[in-house]
Amino acid sequence: MFRGSLTALITPFRKGKVDEQAFQDFVNWQIEQGSHGLVPCGTTGESPTLTHAEHKRVVELCVEAADGRVPVIAGAGSNSTSEAIDFTKHAKEAGADAVLVVTPYYNKPTQEGLVLHYLAIANAVDIPIIIYNIPARCVIDMSVETMAKLAEHDNIVGVKDATNDLTRPQKMLQLVGEKFCQLSGEDGTSVAFLAQGGKGCISVTANVAPHLCAQLQDSWHLGTYEDAFRVRDILAPLHEAMFVETNPGPVKFAASLLGKCAPDTRLPLAPLKIKSKARIEEAMRAAGLLN
């Protein structure tokens, strides 16, 4: 259903507000550069500090600018099930192709609670749902058994796996087969994830290197593995630089170097240190993204 390089989009700000023009220009550039899909209002889009009105507006702007050229997977998660349902309903009304629903952070639900949470959303809205499993931010980890149980629901179609556990895609493949779309949530292991049965990557780095990230995925799916490995090695230092400080501070600064937006983030994210900026710029130059 979904494959390749899907960009976890940044949300540009200017003077404290969403920069709508910069965002839509950015969406167009992503598509022109070959990205296979777009994911607004995820962690990289600073969803925790967007108001509900801003969140919904960003989804609408993305769908409008994409205009059906590539799939839009709208971030719709919340640690409140009712809020997640509301975001999911809005995403469908806005024309999104699917939603990305993060495991409920802070509440620390049991595995049973996770099942009830996702089933409530899947039963409330008829739209493809991708589970976002990221224990490092949410504290909880959805087990493969729980995920396989949820995969029985027609609307729950895949996972963004940010566990960095490369045994998981193979385990899920054995439990649910090819029908369940497994997407990596970690740029640095995206090729290894493909080798273990994955279909693509929801990528942070693709914000600033969309062509290279798409080329890596295309090369793998075409079976030209040497080219995939070559691009992997070019991107490796850039992946590391994108997380030299908390995401999305580094990738927003990198995007600003390309003239795509201001580097502004919202508190509690702090401005980047000078040392971090230098490392990011160096990695961008090494990848051939800056003259």
Distance of alpha carbon 31 from alpha carbon 88, whole angstroms: 24
- For residue 99, list its beta bridge partners: 74, 129
Number of domains in the chain: 1
Q: Which two tokens stand for residue 154?
A: 């027609």
CB atoms within 10 A of CB 174: 11
3-class DSSP state for residue 252? helix
In a domain, 104, yes or no: yes
Given CA atoms 129, 55, 10, 241 in this order, what sign does their dihedral have? negative
In a domain, 278, yes or no: no
| Catalytic pick among 56, 160, 199, 252 | 160
Q: Which two tokens stand for residue 164?
A: 């960095």
Q: Is 106 a catalytic residue?
A: no
Distance of alpha carbon 74 from alpha carbon 77, whole angstroms: 9
Nearest to 1 by CA among 217, 202, 199: 199
Greatest alpha-carbon span in the chain: 52
Check residue 17 and give its pLDDT: 97
Interval 130-138 mean pLDDT: 95
Check residue 1 and give its pLDDT: 79
Please count the residues of the chain: 291
Nearest to 2 by CA among 224, 159, 189: 159
Q: What percent of the chain has pLDDT over 90?
A: 99
Interval 218-243 mean pLDDT: 97
Domain ranges, residue 199: 4-222
Q: What is the pLDDT of residues 2-52, one digit of tens each?
A: 999 999 999 999 999 999 999 999 999 999 999 999 999 999 999 999 999
- For residue 201, list its beta bridge partners: 5, 184
In a domain, 267, yes or no: no
Contact 79, 104 (CB under 8 A): yes
What CATH number is associated with residue 155? 3.20.20.70
- Measure Cα distances from 181 to 12, 148, 151, 172, 262 in Å: 29, 12, 10, 10, 34
Distance of alpha carbon 224 from alpha carbon 219, whole angstroms: 5
Q: What percent of the chain has pLDDT over 70?
A: 100
CB atoms within 10 A of CB 103: 25
In a domain, 251, yes or no: no
Residue 291 has pLDDT above 90, yes or no: no
In a domain, 69, yes or no: yes
Q: Is 160 a catalytic residue?
A: yes
In a domain, 166, yes or no: yes
Distance of alpha carbon 269 from alpha carbon 127, whole angstroms: 32
Contact 287, 258 (CB under 8 A): no
Interval 248-254 mean pLDDT: 98
Q: What is the pLDDT of residues 158-192, one digit of tens each?
A: 999 999 999 999 999 999 999 999 999 999 999 99
Check residue 135 and give its pLDDT: 94
In a domain, 243, yes or no: no
| Catalytic pick among 56, 92, 118, 132 | 132
Helices and strands of the chain, counted as H and E runs: 12, 10
Angle at 185 between CA 286 and CA 91, to 5 degrees: 115
In a domain, 119, yes or no: yes
Global pTM reads 0.96
- Measure Cα distances from 229 to 59, 196, 204 in Å: 34, 15, 19
Average confidence score pLDDT of the chain: 97
| CB burial readout 120-129, b (16+ within 10 A) else e | ebbebbebbb
Distance of alpha carbon 194 from alpha carbon 286, whole angstroms: 25
